[in-house]
Amino acid sequence: MPDPPVSLATAIAQADAALAGAKHPPFSESAFARVRESVSQYIGQLVDESLIVARRHGADTVSAPHVDRASEQLASSMTRRLYRLFGIVGGVFFGTALSNLLQLMNATQIEPRQAIVTFIFGVLGAVLVMIQVLGD
């Protein structure tokens, strides 16, 4: 397997050379410098993630499908985190609603405010969990 830092440096140098030849009228100098930094950072993340995917599949070398999978994971990781957060918060809300519902079932007198809050938490929790399920 090739040495990752050398191939990473080569990839960054190639990307930098391609960007150096590109015209950048819509970008300011500082914005174009940020583009260069972001491309270098993405290449590093892609190499790291490709190695992780290859190891996960028990491969000795990184193949094109590993790189494709790593690229997909990097592109969707932020969206995935948001959906996961929705699921976590939704689960907490839904669990709170179920706990309150059990208390309401055992209570001799039910306060309307407690029933309304329980209903709102239950509906909101169910909606957030469904958003997570449908998002994945």
Residue 56 shares a structural domain with residue 107: no
The pLDDT assigned to 89 comes to: 95
- The residue with greater pLDDT, 80 or 125, is 125
What is the pLDDT of the chain when averaged over all its residues? 84
Looking at the fold, whether 34 and 89 belong to one and the same domain comes out as: no
Domain count, the chain: 2
> What integer pLDDT is reported at residue 6 of this predicted model?
52
- Within this chain, do residues 57 and 82 fall inside the same structural domain, yes or no? no
| 104 and 134 part of one domain | yes
pTM of this structure = 0.51
Residues 49 and 104 in one domain: no
Domain around 95: 77-136
Q: Which of 33, 57, 34, 41 is nearest to 8 (CA)?
A: 41
Whether 51 and 87 map to the same domain: the answer is no
Do residues 94 and 50 share a domain?
no
Q: What is the DSSP letter of 27?
A: S
| Rounded Cα–Cα distance for residues 121 and 126 (Å) | 8
Q: What is the pLDDT of residue 25?
A: 65
| Residue 48 backbone class (left: φ over 0; alpha: ψ -120 to 50; beta: rest) | alpha
Residues 16 and 40 in one domain: yes
71 in a domain, yes or no?
no
7 and 47 inside one domain:
yes
Greatest Cα pair distance in the chain = 77
- Domain contains 70: no
Please write the tens of the pLDDT for every residue from 52-88.
999 999 998 999 999 998 888 887 777 788 888 999 9
Using one digit for the tens of pLDDT, what is the confidence trace for 5-32?
A: 456 677 767 777 776 666 666 777 788 7
